[in-house]
Amino acid sequence: MKTVFADTFVWLALVHPKDAWHERAKNFLDEFSGRIVTTDWVLMELADALAGSEQGRREFVALRADLHSDPDATIVPSDSELLQQAIDLYHARLDKQWSLTDCTSFVVMQREEITEALTGDHHFEQAGFVILLK
């Protein structure tokens, strides 16, 4: 079974119908039959981005519930070991503009041996991964 990592980029595109990436994100997720991995960090970043409106908050809660009930979706929990590994990567790559959330994603992708990310964020390419939304 194919596994991809889902970044904040795809979730934001999915919940915003006017987003330039909405149709591509929706079509990919509708047609994809594999395992999707994301993290508590990604979902926190999504919640922060949607916090400005009641509708956004509802969309976040619904999406999170959908992910938790989907047997083909995995949400990697936040823990102190993951945080430390992400901080180590963040510090090791001072030449990049990677967010700490990006670094947690990269650590999880390496741990899980995931090579493809459902994102359009070029930082994933910089880290050596394939981005699926171009």
Q: Domain 3-131 class?
A: alpha beta
10, exposed or middle or buried, with CB in 10 Å at 0-12, 13-18, 19+? Answer: buried
101, pLDDT greater than 90: yes
- 39-70 pLDDT tens trace: 999 999 999 999 999 999 999 999 999 999 99
pLDDT at residue 134, rounded to an integer: 86
pLDDT digits (tens, 9 = 90+) for 63-99: 999 999 999 999 999 999 999 999 999 999 999 999 9
Separation CA 99–CA 88 (nearest Å): 12
- Domain definitions of the chain by residue range: 3-131
